[in-house]
Amino acid sequence: MTATPAPPGPPSADPGASAGATAPAAPRPPRPRRAPAPWWRRPWIGPLALVTAAFLVLSLPPYLTLDPAASRVPLHEGNPLHYPLLIGHILFGTVALVTCCLQVWPWLRRRHPAVHRWSGRLYVFAGVLPGAPLALASSILGQQGLSQQVGNSVLSLLWFAFAVAGWRAARRRDFAAHREWMVRGFALTFSIVANRPWIVICTLLALPQLDTVYGGSEAVMVQSVAGASVWLSWLVNLFIAEWWLRRRARPARPRRTVRV
């Protein structure tokens, strides 16, 4: 006698259950974004402001008297325009230094965007754009040798070009490119501050060679030191800025999982 087959039961609620299929995993909830650090937790904001203030306090007073005899930069005796060009560059450069500190302050940029925009306009139109051509003119008239003239001239042209590129990027609302150009401009703006320690370092390196390489002439040694410090002050700053930009743009490496 043969058994009668049982009637088919109701269809399974999970068609893939018989095939061993698993249900797709639920999407992970997005990670909560960490709140940006307050301005007092930015370890470089305070030192940057202090260094800028100290530099201006030590460097500006001789030029506020408008006395060419007090100039710390050797003047072109045959061209009376050298000193006015230098004074103009220093005044506009001071505006660029102060407003550049405001531009790179993340807390101010985030909490007070209007102040950030206006300080950016001052940086470009009352700082770099008038200050760079004056720096170029005074560099050509410089009295510390060809290396110093060429180094400061290239710096002035790049300073002008970076400010224009950053402003145009902001106008077309390409804020990623704007930020990159402003970081490069920041590096060049603060090359004048970096120039002071580079002068000390280059002088210490040149002193042992005073009697050999420079023939005992301190004037020749000072000229060489001035040229080297000019190039180092903005090239090293710019290299650091480019490294920092590339480092931030690099995708994070996946963490390795250790199997037990």
What six digits make up the tokens of 206? 């040149």
User: What torsion, rounded to 10 degrees, do the Cα atoms 7, 13, 18, 24 define?
Assistant: 170
CA distance 241 to 187: 6
Q: Running DSSP on this structure, what letter comes out for residue 134?
A: H
User: pLDDT at position 16, please?
Assistant: 46
Q: What pLDDT sits at residue 22?
A: 52
| Residue 259, pLDDT score | 52
- What DSSP state is assigned to residue 209? G
Question: What own/partner pairs with CB < 8 Å and gap ≥ 24 does 44-49 have?
Answer: 45/105, 45/107, 48/101, 48/104, 49/101
Residue the block writes with tokens 């306090």: 57
DSSP-derived letter for residue 31 is P
Spatial separation of the C-alpha atoms in residues 244 and 247, rounded to whole Å: 5
Name the residue with tokens 């004074």.
Answer: 87
Going residue by residue through the chain (260 aa), what tens digit of pLDDT does each one get?
A: 444 455 555 444 444 444 444 555 555 555 555 555 554 455 667 888 899 999 999 999 999 999 999 999 999 989 999 999 999 999 999 999 999 988 888 888 888 989 989 999 999 999 999 999 999 999 999 998 999 999 999 999 999 999 999 999 999 999 999 999 999 999 999 999 999 999 999 999 999 999 999 999 999 999 999 999 999 999 999 999 999 999 876 655 555 544 54
Alpha-carbon span 57 to 48, nearest angstrom: 14
Structure tokens at 18: 């018989």
Residues 6+ apart with CB under 8 A from 169: 175, 177, 178, 181
- Looking at residue 109, what is its pLDDT? 84
Q: Please tell me the predicted confidence (pLDDT) of residue 257.
A: 46
Domains of the chain: which residue ranges?
43-51+74-249
